[in-house]
Structure 1
């Protein structure tokens, strides 16, 4: 729990006020701060002061845990060796390197016996694909990093007690208006169990996201409390989660048996759902049949509507789903009837608004949309706003699933009426602005304005410096170095770090990979083909000399375990000054690091872009390509990757700057009352007590209900 709070909130839970005056606590606190600084972190003045007043032994114990947590967060918990000990210096020409290894193999009788005439298999060369030196040898070959003021220094803030910090994080995740990443959903599950005995006033007031609601209901079921349910699917999600299955219901779950007390709570929740919503059963009919076998509804006649639910699943009772009735009306050209049906579910109406406008609904559709906007969730309003602003200047459509798998296609839809489009945008702006709180005095870090609003977090793996897909941020530094580290679990696993480099038209490609070690401005650290104890690969780019304005890092699974099955797999990037020297991996120069866990075989974490002002920026992708079962390499996916990245780059994502504009209008139209609101990537130290703070870790809290 302590690691979770440090990683998600950059806050250190500290129990008690402390009253040690011997000075041993002060010494230990300064030692901890010095150790943290070596990996790019530091204690805030408040945290340092609190630690200094604790017994020294307690500071040392806490410091060991904090240092371990931040080292994992930045990727410094492993030894990052490189195949070429001098990297990025003395990287050889690719073919010359291979020829040298082949020459050595032919002089070795044992190795020569493995070589086959006419075929060059690099894995047959004894020195290819595995480290030829120790980590200590690598350290000896590199000078110490010269610290600079531009290096990343992330501040760790003073937290309250572990229980208080866990409660705050629990309420933040549970009340999120956007779906959470799988890792955050797992964190919410742990927090819900940890906070199960909190008073009812400390439980979340509302849980808008269905998967989050299932997690909260699991804790409520274990405590014997009534469930938060308003559709039959809420009960099925809970049953899947309790069986350690897929809470999204995308894949079938083998349901476990439930105790009699659990069955009674589940059946009571089902019985409370109106019969008009039983049509939802048809979406997961087979899973409902299995659940009926586990719940024994015939043993509980006090719940009469439950039998109707399972009758629908077995086909004994007819129940048309809401969606099928809407689709039937639209297919028959009865747009008015479809609108009348959808008005009962405002969110569904707004999600289909583009279709309804193209179907010829006219002013009736706009009037229904205006009424629906007042009742739909803030996330639906913002998602529709983003969708419609891209209809003003159509770009290729991008589709992304919850695993980050993506594909793109041309937009062949008929254009929307421009007057209707602008009217809808005005309706959305007015309604979104109305829901935002009065910020009082608004303080905004300009660096956050181009960060995309987190309208979905499913494909964004938590980590250091992570931002939502579509976010844009400045890259500062002369050298850019991205890295991948992995450790195989059961079988030989070969990941390949590569970079596709394109001109401004997304053409004329060149690349850096295991088939092309270097060019005039970039170098590759060498190919590692297995990782029983972990392996790291790097690509170094001198930004000032880069002749291509688009650089797309990629991680390919050439052989072995998928990203989400390996014992460990993560990607990140560093920036540094050309004169800094240092090891291939220096934690205080890491700007971003996160795990790889998508279901695809090719990862596209982000893209680096040089603008018209010659400044470099990074745009966040969080995408995976399906790729081939094995032997993926950058040359084989150039067209797919370039089309997909271009679609993301040209798409107009709704940014924090949009909400800031609405907040400023709201602030200027009302009295401040002394309230201060800060929005930025990190919170400064001089904010007044009681300020409302939104940082990269809590941007989801900006989304209005």
Structure 2
């Protein structure tokens, strides 16, 4: 049953289950099968408009004319269609046979042969876990102590786990502020001490207690808080400012939020916490506070680079984030040397995530004349513009890269032996958990992974919640200069490159669309699948929506959707009206690779089509594809240069001693004390 959807049990798991009673095995099987089917998208019925897809897909114009003829033969629709014909324009959505399934799911299945097994079919191994409490505790410690921000899904998981594990083992440090806010909420409810060292930590906690955004990107409507909660927040603010009075200036960054919070906390009623009252006095403008950033701005405005560097050394993270400006502002070699020297001095105090982020930034900050800047926010919305900034001096750029690499290498673990799956070397380091999405086989934005197969098939599924919703799956084909070669969509159902499964315009019970591409016949260098919202609910409003792709051999048959051939399935849950999950690029040797995007375009409120966003999509894809990411391969090279024995993984030669393994999936046969790094815990590679 597992293998029918592309999974299998490890030898240990099979051996353990074999020793259990039949009822226990069945009790384990039911939720396990449901879980893995949901991971691949096999938990729903994927029907297609054209029953024989990818065979017998008609020419688009012929298909539309057929729909018109059928409408003219329909007594109810005939008069309306004739009226449209007299005006010279036909609305496809008014034709009875357009946009709705014309056959049942069972009839579609009967039209397809069974899937022929192939060596390339995906087979994901399921391993034994520990006890429930051990697994919960380990996951909590990993999420709470993560050195990189978590995505929304993992942050929601942390919220549940933090309440369950409030009285259990705790991570030594919680470096990410959003994580700390979630943990503090659980600690407050459990009566434990709070982890606060800035006034912003208190604001984030208040947002968590009100069900708001702990990242502070979106405004929170503060709820009425209980008396114990109000007292805890006021006491926390008082303690932070009493311990470090200069931190009161942080209020200015979120002045309006602090004003609204003060209306809920009533600090004037609690004279025992005078420093907390000062926080809200600063927010209201009744007390002056000079922020750290304003002092830096004053020095740079006066062209005092040396003074700014001296001040920024007291805030190493801010120094790193200001490097580009400092180097461009510096007028003398002495000032540039001072910047590099300051970085060398404070680098050990900067988080590993910031060190790597700045290293990646500097790598892409070369002196090329035709440079683009791409801005991607936390929600996956992107903007591209020309880079008109002065170039960073090349000598200092290279010196800083050397410094940052040395600092990263110093912090990396030094296992005696490191086994690496070659396919993981192109995976981008997850410097933010928001650079990816939930799903199966999903990699961080910017990752590159090989694509092996003759047929590439995209799929999208959506189920509307309240109103008629029409999603359109499309694929844009670009040449090496990012110019449009062709596309497949509901307006172009068939070409020499592939086929579209047909347009579905209403999904009360769920709907699917597919695009089938023969990679050897594809014209162009890039394939960019996209999901356009033509009308109805957004990705975050629909009851369910996800995208994925399958790979098949040329002779494989099977249904339009076969779970065993699914390589990737990700949730569509971002803002905007156009989703760009990933792009595919043909190399000079003819091989194909996927480049992960996880992007959303704003689009139009309705009627988004691939024809209308060709230029914006091509510009965005070019900016992302041509930006080089720091990858697992970069860290593996640093460890190798530091003396670690790095070996390519060979399933035929599994060592019988503990090793550190990095790969796309956990293999069988490793020593039980081995450290295993896969995409699900790739953040563990980022040094603190």
Per the TM superposition, whether the score is higher than 0.5 is yes
SS across alignment from 2:153:
helix
Please name the residue that 1:251 is paired with: 218
The answer as to whether partners of 2:414 and 2:644 remain within 8 angstroms in 1 is no
Which 5+ residue runs of structure 2 have no aligned equivalent? Answer: 647-654
Aligned to 1:501: 477
Moved more, 359-368 or 373-382: 359-368
Quote the Cα distance in structure 2 between the aligned partners of 1:500 and 1:393: 31
- Counterparts of residues 343-382 of structure 1 (less than 5 Å): 343-360=313-330, 361-382=335-356
CA distance in 1, matches of 2:503, 2:476: 17
Partner of 2:20: 54
Does residue 541 of the first structure (1) align with residue 507 of the second (2)?
no
Assess if the C-alpha contact under 8 Å between 2:423 and 2:449 holds in 1.
yes
Q: 1:287-306: per-residue Cα shift (whole Å, max 9, x none)?
A: 21221122222333332211
Name the counterpart of 1:89.
Answer: 55
Measured after TM superposition, the shift of residue 265 of structure 1 is: 1.9
SS in 1 for 2:5: coil
Q: Which residue of 1 aligns with 2:668?
A: 685
Q: CA deviation at 1:668?
A: 4.1
How far apart in 2 are the matches of 1:459 and 1:432?
A: 21
1:53 Cα offset (Å): 1.9
Deviation at 1:675, TM superposition (A): 5.3
User: 494, 507, 531: which is aligned to 1:518?
Assistant: 494
1:438 aligns with 2:411: no
Question: What's the counterpart of residue 66 of structure 1?
Answer: 32
SS, match of residue 457 in structure 2 = strand
Shift of 1:267: 1.8
Instruction: Decide whether the 8 Å contact of 1:350 with 1:372 is kept in 2.
Output: no
Query: Given that residues 224 and 265 in structure 1 are in contact (C-alpha distance below 8 angstroms), is that contact kept between their aligned partners in structure 2?
Result: no
2:97 alignment counterpart: 127
Preserved CA contact (<8 Å) 1:442 1:667 = no
The answer for the alignment partner of 2:682 in structure 1 is: 699
Deviation at 1:641, TM superposition (A): 0.4
Separation in structure 1 between the aligned mates of residue 129 and residue 406 of structure 2, nearest angstrom: 37
Q: In 1, Cα distance between the equivalents of 2:642 and 2:660?
A: 12
1:178-577, aligned counterparts within 5 Å? 178-198=148-168, 202-273=169-240, 274-360=244-330, 361-392=335-366, 394=368, 395-577=371-553
Q: CA deviation at 1:47?
A: 1.1
Q: For residue 384 of structure 1, give the secondary structure of its aligned residue in structure 2.
A: helix
* 1:634-660 C-alpha deviation (Å, 9 max, x unpaired): 011111100110111111111100100
Pairwise CA distance, 1:669: 9.2
Separation in 2, partners of 1:675, 1:123 = 62
Cα deviation, 1:162-218, whole Å, max 9, x if unaligned, reads 1111111111111111111111111111111222231xxx11111111111111111
SS of corresponding position for 1:540 = strand
| 1:393 to partner: Cα distance | 5.5
State whether residues 418 and 644 of structure 2, in contact with CA within 8 Å, keep that contact through their aligned partners in structure 1.
no
Higher mean C-alpha deviation, range 47-56 or range 207-216 = 47-56
CA distance in 2 between counterparts of 1:139 and 1:366 reads: 65
| Counterpart contact for 2:658–2:671, Cα < 8 Å | no
Q: Secondary structure at the match of 1:509?
A: strand
Partner of 1:176: 146
Cα distance per residue 1:645-694 (max 9 Å; x no partner)? 01111111111001001112223499x9x752111111211211211111
Could you say what secondary structure the match of 2:127 adopts?
A: strand
| SS at 1:533 equivalent | coil
Whole-Å separation in 2 of the counterparts to 1:319 and 1:291: 19
TM-aligned CA deviation for residue 372 of structure 1: 2.1
Within 2, Cα distance between the matches of 1:216 and 1:62? 32
Q: Does the residue aligned with 1:667 lie in a helix, a strand or coil?
A: coil
2:465–2:542: 8 Å Cα contact kept in structure 1?
A: yes
8 Å Cα contact 1:224-1:262 kept in structure 2: no
2-side partners of 1:285 and 1:504: how far apart? 48
Secondary structure at the aligned position of 1:234 is classed as helix
In structure 2, distance between residues paired with 1:67 and 1:235: 43
Q: 1:392 offset after TM fit, Å?
A: 2.5
* 1:598 maps to 2:574: yes
Partner of 1:623: 599
Q: CA deviation at 1:331?
A: 2.5
TM-score by length of 2: 0.95
Provide the secondary structure at the position in 2 that maps to 1:484.
Answer: strand
Give, in angstroms, the shift of residue 535 of structure 1.
Answer: 0.3
Deviation, 1:246, is 1.4
Question: How far apart, CA to CA, are the structure 1 residues paired with 2:585 and 2:531?
Answer: 18
Offset from partner CA, 1:394-413 (integer Å, 9 cap, x none): 44111000110001112211
SS of residue in 2 equivalent to 1:101? helix
Are residue 152 (structure 1) and residue 122 (structure 2) matched? yes
Q: Does the C-alpha gap of structure 1 residues 508 and 460 become closer, same or farther in structure 2, counting only changes over 3 Å?
A: closer
8 A Cα contact 1:502 1:509, kept in partner: yes
- SS of the residue 1:391 aligns to: coil
State the distance in 1 between where 2:258 and 2:383 align: 32
Q: After alignment, is 568-577 or 691-700 more displaced?
A: 691-700
**Alignment length, in residue pairs?**
666
Is 2:51 the partner of 1:111?
A: no
Give the whole-Å Cα distance in 2 for the aligned partners of 1:142 and 1:194: 48
Q: Which moved more, 1:390-399 or 1:242-251?
A: 390-399
Q: Which residue in 1 is equivalent to 2:651?
A: none
Residue 138 (structure 1) aligns with: 108
Aligned to 1:12: none
CA contact (8 A) 2:437 2:571 kept: yes
Alpha-carbon deviation of 1:259? 1.8
Distance 2:124 2:388 in 1: 46
Q: Distance in 1 between matches of 2:411 and 2:658?
A: 17
User: Does 2:557 align with 1:581?
Assistant: yes
Q: Which residue of 1 aligns with 2:650?
A: none
Deviations 1:29-58 (A, max 9, x none): xxxxxx111111111111111112222212
Give the drift of 1:605: 0.5
Conserved? CA contact 2:457–2:551, under 8 Å = yes
The alignment partner of 2:642 has SS state of helix
| Structure 1 CA distance for aligned equivalents of residues 354 and 278 of structure 2 | 32
For 1:439 and 1:613, the matched residues in 2 are separated by 35
